[in-house]
Structure formats: C-alpha cells, structure tokens
Amino acid sequence: MPQLLALGLDEGLAIVEREVGVIVAATGYDMKLDQQAEECGYGKYVDVMDGLEFERMLSASGPTEGEVRRPSDGKTPKDVVFIQCVGSRNPEHGVPYCSRICCMYTAKHALLLRHKVPESRAFIFYMDIRAGGKGYEEFVHRAMEEEPVMYIRGRPSQIIQENDKLRVLGVDTLSGKHIEIDADMVVLAVGMVPNSADGEALAFSVDFDGYSALIYYDNNFRYGRMRETPAVRPHENPIPTMDKDVVPIDGGEAVLRVTGGKGLSSPL
C-alpha cells in the first residue's frame, strides 16, 4: 500500500530522499496569447480580454469588486461576445489539442454575466461543445435554454473597432447566415500551455531500474523520456512514455493515468 507523505511549505530547506512508484509533475498552465489571440484584437483593443481576466473581473475581490465594467470607459457592457478555441485545436497557429476547460468556463461566464447584468446579451462562437463530465452537458443546456445565451457555431472572420463598439463578423455554419454583432466587450477562451518557472520546458532527471531518464514537458503538453524501457503495466513503469500529444488534465486524472486506474492512488 502506498505511503502518504506530505511536505509542509513552512518547513526549512532540506534534501529528502524517498523511493516512489510514480512521479506526477503538475506544471499548471499559462494562456497562449499569441497569433490567434492577436487576430481577435487582443493587445490591440482594450475591451478584448482573455477568460482569466474576465474571471478576475467577476470576482468580488477583483479590481471592479465583481461588477462587469468595460476596461476602456468603465461602463456596464450590454452585448458581450465570447469566442472559444482561440489557439486550441490549431496545429498551425496554436496548439493541436483541446484545452478541455474552455467550453465549461465560457458557459459559466455567460451565466454570471446574465445574472450580474440582467439586461445584457451573451453570444458564444464555438467549434463544437465538449462538455465531458458529470452534469457538464446539463450545465451547458442550462445556459442555452434557461438564459438567453446565443450559441453560434462558427469562427469570427474579423473583429474591428468602430467608435465605442467592437464589430464582430462571422458566419453561423449551421444556418449559413452571416453574423454581425456590435459588441461592448469580447472575451477569448484561449489555448492552454504548460507553466514552468522560467517559461521554458520543465525537465528533470531520474534513475530507475538501471536507466537514467530525462523527463520533459514541452510547450505542447508532450512528455516522455530519453531512453526506452520494456513495455509493462503502467504502475510498474513509474514514468510512462508517450510519443504523441496529450491534453491538459487535472491532478486526479494524472494519477489515474500513471497508475493505470489500479487504485494505487487511493490513499491520496
């Protein structure tokens, strides 16, 4: 049975040696705010922000004390456009994988906007809905049906500033209709990339079974090791090798993957 070991943050500096069966490196994540975000006006138009910035605005401890305000003039927005998959599932100009959390936090943001500003309208541009989790699909349907959140299947083709409005141009691929929205704010659900202290790939070395291995995480959530070992059950191979892209996962799923779902992580 695995032994539970916790290290306190207030403990002094010390070198601790332990024999372990599994190593899980939880890097956290950063937002990939590059080409696709810039094409949507991020960094160019003040009233275009990413999901984390909007989340902070909604917080009671945030800069506006939970009130939804346009950064440009402090006014309450009436029409807000949310754009999903900005940089995700785009091998050429972003990351090839789905960032997995965007569909859910965008639906949450739209609902919170409607609750805080009842007269507001929320529009969500999406590729498809990936709500994989208990109650997730019902939550998205609640946003669609109980609140007047308009889901538009398609990607905006252009966002331009006109006076104090952001004109969002696109096509609804389900109806074939051209869409034109004069928005007060635009919120981007951008792709996730692994976080590390210095902004570079996280790397560390470990010895096991006579093999010296370098474990690395690059900016596409790929991970592996430099030398191969025989293919064995996951819990016998403490650091699984993967030669293809994987998606961002939370701590619980990471433990299940490396233990092969054998229940070895149950004490955690």
Over residues 233-265, the pLDDT tens digits come to: 444 444 444 334 456 777 667 666 666 544 444
Instruction: For residues 59 and 166, state if they share a domain.
Output: yes
As for how many domains the chain has, the answer is: 2
Instruction: For residues 126 and 168, state if they share a domain.
Output: yes
Nearest to 181 by CA among 167, 161, 170: 167
Mean pLDDT of 195-217: 49
Domain with residue 52: its CATH number is 3.50.50.60
Instruction: For residues 61 and 118, state if they share a domain.
Output: yes
- Summarize pLDDT for 189-203 with one digit per residue, the tens: 998 887 754 445 455
Instruction: For residues 21 and 35, state if they share a domain.
Output: no
Instruction: For residues 128 and 139, state if they share a domain.
Output: yes
- Summarize pLDDT for 46-92 with one digit per residue, the tens: 999 999 999 999 999 999 999 999 999 999 999 999 999 998 888 88
Indicate whether 242 belongs to any domain.
yes
- Summarize pLDDT for 100-119 with one digit per residue, the tens: 889 999 999 999 999 999 99
At 29 the pLDDT is: 79
Indicate whether 205 belongs to any domain.
no
Q: Rounded CA gap, 119 and 77, in Å?
A: 9
Instruction: For residues 65 and 161, state if they share a domain.
Output: yes
Instruction: For residues 123 and 134, state if they share a domain.
Output: yes
Instruction: For residues 64 and 129, state if they share a domain.
Output: yes
Instruction: For residues 20 and 121, state if they share a domain.
Output: no
Last residue of a domain, one of 194, 226, 251: 194
Range of the domain at 137: 30-194
Backbone φ and ψ for 236, nearest 5 degrees, come out as -90, -15
Instruction: For residues 22 and 44, state if they share a domain.
Output: no
Residue 41 clears pLDDT 60, i.e. is over it: yes
Instruction: For residues 142 and 164, state if they share a domain.
Output: yes
- Summarize pLDDT for 126-145 with one digit per residue, the tens: 999 998 888 999 999 999 98
Indicate whether 152 belongs to any domain.
yes
